């Protein structure tokens, strides 16, 4: 049964009415739709989509702030939340993949400039390093290099959701991610963080797509 605010001439409502209409709100926007009973289909394609969606959702739940930041910046001003963009960018690829190769780890935001970041494997570790991208737009400065890695796996079968993230905020930009398993494959990538003006919160992020790297 629908719940209303300020009856009888309500300003808003939530829930279903007589199993004909459903009233709800999304990101502050009220809407109404036809009431339907979910069919809960279980075709092979739909199962693949659901499994990849679930895997991505579990990764997001424990992802650290440095990982979330570019996704949050990328959705500002859009009717979408950061988690949904992460899933949208990766779900279509993962539903048919048995690997995390090509996983989008940063979508890029606010014109962040991409520049090569090398990943060098060591004994149970990865080193992320890069040269300062040049030239930069007027007023921009580099404020960080972020490295991220997650265990290489089949997102349809495996359940390791730990996104490892490291950062370096000073030149020369180089940071070691330690504590990883030895002789093990990881999907890894690095990206840059820029400050675009005098405001410490006016940040831009370069895009980053994972490649498979094997620790020593």
Rounded to whole angstroms, how far apart are CA atoms 104 and 106?
A: 6
**Domain limits, the chain:** 3-34, 44-214
The angle formed by the CA atoms of residues 171, 216 and 102, to the nearest 5 degrees, is 70
pLDDT of residue 8: 46
Pairing, β 203-209 against β 211-214: unpaired
Per-residue pLDDT tens digits for 57-99: 999 999 999 999 999 999 999 999 999 999 999 999 999 889 9
Rounded to whole angstroms, how far apart are CA atoms 23 and 11?
A: 12
Q: What is the pTM of this model?
A: 0.81
User: How would residue 130 be classed by pLDDT, with cut points 50, 70 and 90?
Assistant: very high
Ramachandran angles phi, psi of 7, nearest 5°: -65, 160
Rounded to whole angstroms, how far apart are CA atoms 25 and 30?
A: 4
In terms of CATH architecture, what is 44-214? Sandwich (2.60)
What is the average pLDDT score of the chain? Answer: 90
pLDDT of residue 77: 93
pLDDT of residue 28: 63
In 3D, which of 140, 92, 139, 90 has the Cα closest to residue 115?
140
Looking at the predicted structure, is the pLDDT value of residue 193 above 80? Answer: yes
pLDDT of residue 2: 47
Chain-centre distance for alpha carbon 105: 6
pLDDT of residue 134: 86
Per-residue pLDDT tens digits for 36-65: 766 665 666 677 689 999 999 999 999 999
Per-residue pLDDT tens digits for 136-158: 999 999 999 999 999 999 999 99
Instruction: Compute the average pLDDT of residues 112-138.
Output: 95
What is the distance in angstroms between the CA of the first residue and the CA of the last residue of the chain? Answer: 60
- Percent of the chain with pLDDT strictly greater than 70: 85
């Amino acid at each position: 049964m629908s719940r209303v605010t300020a009856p009888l001439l309500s300003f808003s409502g939530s829930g279903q009415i007589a199993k004909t209409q459903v009233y709800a709100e999304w990101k502050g926007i009220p809407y109404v739709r036809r009431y339907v009973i979910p069919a809960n289909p279980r075709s092979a394609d739909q199962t693949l989509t659901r499994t990849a969606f679930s895997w991505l959702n579990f990764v997001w739940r424990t992802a650290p702030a440095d990982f979330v930041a570019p996704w949050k910046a990328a959705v500002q001003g859009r009717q979408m939340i950061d988690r949904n963009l992460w899933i949208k960018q990766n779900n279509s690829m993962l539903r048919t993949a048995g690997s995390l190769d090509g996983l989008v780890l940063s979508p890029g935001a606010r014109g962040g400039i991409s520049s090569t970041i090398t990943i060098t494997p060591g004994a149970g570790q990865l080193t992320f390093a890069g040269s300062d991208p040049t030239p930069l737009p007027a007023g921009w400065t580099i404020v960080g290099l972020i490295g991220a890695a997650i265990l290489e796996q089949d997102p349809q079968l495996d359940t390791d959701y730990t996104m490892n993230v490291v950062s370096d905020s000073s030149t020369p930009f180089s940071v070691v991610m330690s504590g990883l398993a030895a002789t093990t494959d990881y999907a890894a990538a690095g990206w840059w963080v820029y400050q675009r003006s005098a405001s410490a919160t006016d940040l831009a992020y370069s895009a980053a797509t994972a490649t498979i790297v094997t620790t020593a």
